[in-house]
Amino acid sequence: MGRLRHRFPVHPLQKRIFICGEHERVDYRCSGISHFICIANPGATVTLPEWFKGACLQLWFGDVVSERDAALCNTRAVSEEDIRQAIEFSRAALQEPETKMLVSCNYGASRSTGLAYVLLADHLGAGKEAEAFQLMLKIRETAVPNGMVIRVADAVLERNGELLGPLRKFNAELSSELFPVSYGFKRS
């Protein structure tokens, strides 16, 4: 008797949008990356990979949750202009069928995953936010998307909070895993 094969469909965007941290960029040198969005802290030294010869968008903002947090951390928060630039860059790039775009920040966990989610949601269109979020998680399983990136993008894309719904659900699930209601103690 043959072995059962489970086939999980791969969304076409999983072959076109990639997310990584700075130390993983070298892993993409033979992947045909044509477009690169690099997110770095203001004032950081950024070196593009020597193998990359395509179009690049460099964004400068810290991994913070609010303007106040940015001030306390002596950095710059993501702006509407940052989001607009990324959306325009992505829209132009994804018009070409052979485009492969890499979105990268220091660790590939927060800013890059938040921005990649926004770009996926923009590409899929309004009403597909949950699908875009799940797709981002398939691309980068270790994602902990930056909420401020998503809040600002929600305003730019005029999604009326819809981009935030999947993030809230994700954060609630993550929180319940990290901090279960009961730690084995019985309440009296």
Query: Considering the domain boundaries, does residue 108 fall inside one?
Result: yes
Query: Considering the domain boundaries, does residue 182 fall inside one?
Result: no
Which residue range(s) make up the domain with 56?
12-44+52-177
Residue 20, H or E segment = strand 17-21
Q: What is the pLDDT of residue 153?
A: 99
Q: What is the pLDDT of residues 39-97, one digit of tens each?
A: 999 999 988 999 999 999 999 999 999 999 999 999 999 999 999 999 999 999 999 99
What is the number of structural domains in the chain? 1
End-to-end CA distance of the chain: 55
Do the Cβ atoms of 151 and 79 come closer than 8 Å?
no
Edge-to-edge strand order for the sheet containing 55-60? 17-21, 101-105, 35-40, 55-60
pTM here? 0.90
Q: What is the pLDDT of residue 180?
A: 81
Query: Considering the domain boundaries, does residue 187 fall inside one?
Result: no
Q: What is the CATH number of the domain that holds 169?
A: 3.90.190.10
Query: Considering the domain boundaries, does residue 188 fall inside one?
Result: no
3 state SS of 60:
strand
Query: Considering the domain boundaries, does residue 3 fall inside one?
Result: no
Alpha-carbon distance values, 88 to 59, 85, 93, 95, 122 (Å)? 13, 5, 8, 11, 10
Alpha-carbon distance values, 127 to 83, 161, 173 (Å)? 19, 11, 22
Q: What is the pLDDT of residues 109-128, one digit of tens each?
A: 999 999 999 999 999 999 99
Query: Considering the domain boundaries, does residue 183 fall inside one?
Result: no
Q: What is the pLDDT of residue 109?
A: 97
Q: What is the pLDDT of residue 182?
A: 60
